[in-house]
Chain A
Amino acid sequence: MPIRSMKGALKALVLVAIFFAGVWSQSSGVIDDFIWYLPDVQYLVVQHIWLTVMSGSLAILVAIPLGIVLSRPSMARVAESLMQVLNVGTTIPTLAVLALSMSFLGIGTVPAVFGLFVATLLPITRNTYAGLKGVNPALMEAAAGIGMSPMQRLFKVELPNALYVIFAGMRTALTINVGTVPLAFLIGAGGLGELIFTGIDLYDPVMMLSGAIPTALLAIVVDALIATTAFLVVPRGVNPGRA
């Protein structure tokens, strides 16, 4: 069979499948069930995004300078050990980090943002550090050879070359962050975790999915946003996405 018609048949099949999935969900009332949770979802999505934006941007603001400092030659001896300290935020279960931060920050948004911040810190720092360390030594030598100061080398050679790796770290960290925010519900900070956990407790799959699906969509959107930013921000010459 010629490939062209096979593709066509496949497309038609997918369309038919989508059509029947639509008919089934309409007739079974699942859509009405989902619509019933819509106001809840709208309210909680805003909280969810807010938690991600606050903890994520805090983590970026701290992690990138930290990664830069750790990658300087003078820090070479202590860099790895310091990074192990950050590892704590990743290795301790996030729920425990949240519970710990609640014990000295109270309930609600503040401890949640702090807990999420701690959990997001390492991947970004690690990638900033790795990206800067991975810059081709020949480039560094050439930069030194034409008389650039260490600051000039950092901003004109090292950072542009490391940006792609740094962005990769931010993508990982923030996507995980979105997926972790549901736990913030357990310490009273809201977010889509309210629907997910209540749905589990009451054995209500539609309620649970009303929380889980928007969470997954948010994670995809965040990932796409950072990918686009990376595409636009990383200089043309060193951007694998635009080469």
Chain B
Amino acid sequence: MKTLTTALTSIALASGISLANANEISVGGKNFTEQQILSTMTTQYLDNLGYDVDNRSGMGSAVLRQAQENGQIDLYWEYTGTSLINYNDITESLSPEDTYQRVKELDAEKGLTWLEPSDANNTYALAMREEAAKERGIETLSDLAEAVNNEEGLTFALNAEFYAREDGWRPLMEAYDFRVGRGEVSRMDSGLVYQALRDEEVDVGLVFATDGRIPAFDFYVLEDDQGFFPAYALAPVVRTETLEANPELAEQMNRLSALLNDETMAALNARVDVERETIEDVAESFLEENDLI
């Protein structure tokens, strides 16, 4: 297995290898709105500071992380919980501070430096339409588990990644002790889950806590009453080599990170997903308002 993975990895990645110059920085991003805003914002910000920036967004978590470890991506915004569980295989539950400290130590050994975390915590959550949640009396994930086990025929929409993640669907079902049949779960692109939930195609959808569509579409976020999900604090992660080559980069990125919290992120996300502004405009106006460009 290991050999096959390694072989495929090298084939897949050999095609895009570019050697990093001192001032050339490639910024990565995942495949949903918040990450696209962040990578665009970072690109504009660093570009303005005089770096030669290459923006590569729209990847899956694991692919992006792999690319960073291989040196093709210098910098992207990662969530502490994702690194803890999915990249470092730590399953014990930790406080938000400990989570950050732990991934900072573990990833340092792999040549990655975690800069200052922001106050934005973009945890996974399950959401229902507010009316439907009230009608059925579901407020927490435990209530949901009970409803599922009482065979109320609830249907779910999840994205590809969550379904198979180690902090995802199967462990969640185990933790809350419920079982949903395959036929009741639709898997689709992250962004379409919100639409499917709003249009009553499904009863429960997987959402990101800082998504602006949650208030805009009147969704009710179910409380994670048993604390299954870890903290997903958003922080810039940079390759240590890149930092050594660009000593000012850490301080510059920390300045951006300090500006972000749940409300800011949700508002920025909403401008893109609900008000249909372009990602470039949203990123640019945010940087201008905060005198970063």
Contact = CB atoms under 8 A, between A and B. Distances in A.
B189 interface: yes
Given A185-B188, A204-B62, A28 B3 contact: yes
Interface stretch (A114-122, A187-195, A214-222, A234-242): A187-195
Interface string A21-33: 0000000111001
Nearest to B183: A43
A20 to B, nearest CB: 14
| Chain A interface mostly | helix
A186 B193 CA distance: 10
Interface string B54-96: 0000001111011000000000000000000000000000000
A207 B1 CA distance: 12
B2 A28 contact: yes
Contacts of B201: 106-108, 188
B274 to A, nearest CB: 16
A203 B187 contact: no
B142 interface: no
A78 interface: no
A153 B118 CA distance: 76
A28 B4 contact: yes
Nearest to A32: B1
Nearest to B67: A203
A202 B2 contact: no
B199 interface: yes
B62 A187 contact: no
Nearest to B66: A203
Contacts of B160: 185, 194, 197-198, 201
Given A43-B182, A194-B187, A198-B163, A188 B62 contact: no
24 contacts: A29-B1, A33-B1, A107-B157, A107-B192, A107-B196, A108-B201, A185-B187, A186-B189, A187-B188, A187-B192, A188-B157, A190-B187, A197-B160, A198-B161, A198-B163, A198-B164, A198-B187, A200-B63, A201-B60, A201-B61, A201-B160, A203-B65, A205-B8, A206-B4
Interface of A: 28-30, 33, 43, 102, 106-108, 185-188, 190, 194, 197-198, 200-207
